[in-house]
Amino acid sequence: MDLDDYQQRAQETDRVPSGSTGQDKVELMVPFLGLAGEAGGLLTEFKKHLRDRDAHILFPERVQEELGDILWYVANIATKFGLSMSKVASANLDKTADRWSGSHSLPLPFDDGAIEQERFPRRFSIELAEVHSGGKTKIRCSMDGVTIGDDLTDNAYDDDGYRFHDVFHLAYVAYLGWSPVVRKLMGRKRRSDPLKDEVEDGGRAQVVDEAVSALVFEYARHHRWLDGVDHLDYELLKTVKGLTAHLQVSERTMKDWQDAILNGFRVWRQIRASRGGVIHIDLDARSMECTAASTQQLQPEPL
């Protein structure tokens, strides 16, 4: 049966249709309470099944009946909010596909059309190594022996390892094909396309890149640095998608973001434990791995 047809026919048996009482709250509260009650009824049937096992021989039939009642109330609520059941169902499938399916079969297209010097290398390695300067321990980032970017501290009262956070930006490159911060560090901004250079690779996009890293870092702090975690909270991923909605990376799914974040923290934990290392990125394989640094600790900077 077509969902919209079911929705229309279900309203023929609505005892409290819109406009029947002159009290919108009552007309909405009845189906909401009905939905909660029927969900409870379904749980009751499941409880009976757990308790009585095979003796509860009508279990499948009762489940079907309870699900039908739940569907009626869902359709009733949708109608009273002016929603189409078919659109509700379609939007839900899109949401769950975005959350769990991912787009790993798709290429990383954000460099398409850019000149070679403005593209991310398909394979490259970045070394993070400790240096000591001014009484502080900092992290220096280098590529092919050349320092890129500024030396970083935790910028915090406690030693929380945020000085290694470039790992997260590199994970975004590996699994999303995106990071305005890394583009700037590597000198790969798409200057031949002024609009992309301004919008996709400019200051605002870099702030978003840093904001996502900081947001997820605070989440991870309260979740064992994501050690042993295999999926992230939906609300966190929804917030990340919202922050990046105006950029090309909005094409990436929540599953893609989850893979980038979890793998980023996997490598971050290794880098933090060894106080440095070499990160190997392969965009074609969508992979990121870590090996020991060629020099675990650099000498102090000259005065």
Domain at 12, CATH number: 1.10.287
Judged by average pLDDT, the poorest of 101-115, 193-207, 258-272, 287-301 is: 287-301
| CA torsion through residues 302, 168, 186, 296, sign | positive
Is 88 in the same domain as 161? no
Is 216 in the same domain as 140? yes
Is 204 in the same domain as 276? yes
Residue 301 maps to a domain: no
> Which pLDDT band, with edges at 50, 70 and 90, does 21 fall under?
confident
pLDDT at residue 54 in the model? 83
| CA torsion through residues 252, 255, 261, 262, sign | negative
Structural domain range at position 212 = 116-291
Is 94 in the same domain as 120? no
Is 127 in the same domain as 222? yes
User: Residue 102 pLDDT > 70, yes or no?
Assistant: no
Is 95 in the same domain as 120? no
Mean pLDDT value across the chain: 92
Residue 221 maps to a domain: yes
Of the candidates 49, 71, 100, which is a domain's last residue?
100
Residue 251 maps to a domain: yes
pLDDT at residue 294 in the model? 64
pLDDT digits (tens, 9 = 90+) for 220-274: 999 999 999 999 999 999 999 999 999 999 999 999 999 999 999 999 999 999 9
Q: Hey, what are 60's tokens? A: 């499948």
Percent of the chain with pLDDT over 70: 95
pLDDT digits (tens, 9 = 90+) for 127-172: 999 998 888 889 999 999 999 999 999 999 999 999 999 999 999 9
Backbone φ, ψ for residue 128 (5° rounding): -115, 120
pLDDT at residue 23 in the model? 82
> Which pLDDT band, with edges at 50, 70 and 90, does 103 fall under?
low
Of the candidates 43, 65, 100, which is a domain's last residue?
100
Q: Which DSSP helix (H) or strand (E) runs through 258?
A: helix 254-274
Is 47 in the same domain as 89? yes
pLDDT at residue 297 in the model? 44
Residue 275 maps to a domain: yes
Is 145 in the same domain as 261? yes
> DSSP assignment, residue 198?
H
pLDDT digits (tens, 9 = 90+) for 32-89: 999 999 999 999 999 998 999 888 888 899 999 999 999 999 999 999 999 999 999 9
Is 174 in the same domain as 50? no
pLDDT at residue 106 in the model? 62
User: Residue 109 pLDDT > 80, yes or no?
Assistant: no
Q: What HEC string does 118-185 produce?
A: HCCCCEEEEEEEEEEECCEEEEEEEECCEECCCCECCCCCCCCCHHHCHHHHHHHHHHHCCCHHHHHH
Indicate the pTM of the whole model. 0.84
Residue 214 maps to a domain: yes
CA atoms within 13 A on the CB side of 106: 13
Beta bridge partners of 127: 142, 278
pLDDT at residue 303 in the model? 36
Is 48 in the same domain as 151? no
pLDDT at residue 105 in the model? 56
Count the domains in the chain.
2
What is the SS3 assignment for 285? coil
Q: Are residues 278 and 291 in contact, defined by beta-carbon separation less than 8 angstroms?
A: yes
Is 159 in the same domain as 189? yes
pLDDT at residue 296 in the model? 44
Across the range 104-123, mean pLDDT stands at 84
Residue 108 maps to a domain: no
